[in-house]
Amino acid sequence: MMTTILAIESSCDDTSAAVLRDNRLLSNVIASQKVHEQYGGVVPELASRAHQQNIIPVVDAAILQAGITKEEIDAVGFTRGPGLLGSLLVGVSFAKSFATALGKPLIEVNHLQAHVLSHFIVSSEFGVRSSEMATTPTFPFICLLVSGGHTQILLLKDYFDIECLGTTIDDAAGEAIDKAAKIMDLGYPGGPVIDRLAKEGNADAYQFATPHIEGYNYSFSGIKTSFLYFLRDRLKENPNFIEEHKADLCASIQKTIVSFLLKKVERAALDHKVRQVAIAGGVSANSFLRSELQRICEKHHWQAFIPPFQFCTDNAAMVGIASYFKYLKGDFADISLPPYTR
């Protein structure tokens, strides 16, 4: 007996719906919100309004692309949190009314858990998976979760048995990258721009100090500040400094952040004698992070798990796979559940 799940993701600025049959992805539709670019960051009020406009067409498209009818849906999964309250409310309310209308159960999903479980999506449509990831990881494995709001080293013992080994004590890695991009006036979100420009630059052109933080924890606010002060001093001597050294600056700040991230991941894998290391979340789309993880894993004869790009940034497919594993456990949500922001 196959299980068909409709999943909804609306925690930040992407409205997404996906359909899965068991662990296999049938469709994954994402509507990104362009409206925030002109403000240099996500404007919560505009995000929830855009979600309201997008949610019905996005769900319609996901069902259509999956080639199923609404009646075939066995459960509706949704991101309950963390995220922006107004954004979450749109997806949560939609999922509740849709499930009620269909007479099917609801499944609540934690957004961070969904990012991590994206490694278990089976998708033939995205052929990328077969070349980039030979198999799915086996427990226990380590996952570095790096998104716009979170930076965590996780030890996965089972799908829902996850130990957080370390976390950032201030900014997230994605936030630091976005802020560095903002300082250089590269637009929002800056991560993909830094990634692109860094390819033309020398990553050893400039050194930025990384802090000494206990254990597997991180701190990124100092890196951002030292980057800001460094540029302020250079700009005094040469007002065109950023323009003239953009690629080197991008490559250097990217290397600083990625090396800091992976040094602790490598330590965690060694300490816990784990031979499989995964990355997840928006920053896992970063090409330098991807190639560095590959290099480190090859050095130790470990297996690296790098998600295809469409599963790195926010998407409903990952909410769908998390919903599927909860469905198997019979872990359903009550209709009265409110969203949570943290």
Residue ranges in 209-268 that form contacts with ligand KG4 under rule CB under 6 A: none
Selected from 91, 137, 281, 307, the binder of ligand KG4 by CB under 6 A is 281
CB 280 to Zn ion: min, Å: 9
Q: Does 313 bind ligand KG4 (CB under 6 A)?
A: yes
Based on CB atoms, which residue is closest to ligand KG4, 62 or 198? 198
Q: Does 192 bind ligand KG4 (CB under 6 A)?
A: yes
Q: Does 147 bind Zn ion (CB under 5 A)?
A: yes
- Using CA atoms, how far residue 191 sits from 14, 195, 207, in Å, is 16, 6, 19
Please give the single-letter amino acid code of residue 119: H
Instruction: Please give the size of the binding site for Zn ion, defined by CB under 5 A.
Output: 2
CA angle 312-109-143, nearest 5°? 45
Selected from 6, 12, 99, 318, the binder of ligand KG4 by CB under 6 A is 12
In 75-227, which ranges are E strands?
Answer: 75-81, 106-110, 141-146, 151-158, 161-167
Based on CB atoms, which residue is closest to ligand KG4, 115 or 245? 115
From the list 25-33, 50-58, 218-226, 275-283, the region that binds ligand KG4 by CB under 6 A is: 275-283
Cβ atoms of 19 and 301 within 8 Å: the answer is no
Based on CB atoms, which residue is closest to ligand KG4, 10 or 210? 10
Q: Does 293 bind ligand KG4 (CB under 6 A)?
A: no
From the list 22-30, 189-197, 212-220, 324-332, the region that binds ligand KG4 by CB under 6 A is: 189-197
In sequence order, the β-bridge partners of residue 189 are: none
The 3-state DSSP composition of the chain as helix, strand, coil percent (nearest 5) reads 50, 20, 30
Distance of alpha carbon 61 from alpha carbon 47, whole angstroms:
20
Based on CB atoms, which residue is closest to ligand KG4, 292 or 314? 314
Residue 65 main-chain phi, psi, to 5 deg: -65, -30
* Alpha helical stretches, state H, 16-139: 44-66, 85-102, 111-117, 128-132
Distance of alpha carbon 26 from alpha carbon 157, whole angstroms:
28
Indicate if the alpha-carbon torsion angle 77, 88, 147, 169 is positive or negative.
Answer: negative
Residue whose structure tokens are 């996500």: 42
Q: Does 87 bind ligand KG4 (CB under 6 A)?
A: no
Based on CB atoms, which residue is closest to ligand KG4, 73 or 253? 253
Distance of alpha carbon 191 from alpha carbon 181, whole angstroms:
7
Q: Does 308 bind ligand KG4 (CB under 6 A)?
A: no
Select the binding partner of residue 25 from Zn ion, ligand KG4, none (C-beta < 5 to 8 A, by kind): none
The 313-342 site mask, x for binding Zn ion (CB under 5 A), equals -x----------------------------
* Alpha helical stretches, state H, 2-43: none
Query: Per the structure block, which two tokens stand in for 47?
Result: 């995000």
* Cα within 13 Å of Cα(171), Cβ side: 16
Q: Does 110 bind Zn ion (CB under 5 A)?
A: no
Q: Does 10 bind ligand KG4 (CB under 6 A)?
A: no
Based on CB atoms, which residue is closest to ligand KG4, 189 or 308? 189
Select the binding partner of residue 266 from Zn ion, ligand KG4, none (C-beta < 5 to 8 A, by kind): none
Residue ranges in 114-173 that form contacts with ligand KG4 under rule CB under 6 A: 147-149
Q: Does 108 bind ligand KG4 (CB under 6 A)?
A: no
Helices 191-198 and 241-271: crossing angle in degrees, nearest 10, is 100
CB 306 to Zn ion: min, Å: 16
Q: What residues make contact with Zn ion under the rule CB under 5 A? A: 147, 314
Q: What residues make contact with ligand KG4 under the rule CB under 6 A? A: 12, 147-149, 174, 177-178, 189-192, 195, 281-283, 285-286, 313-314
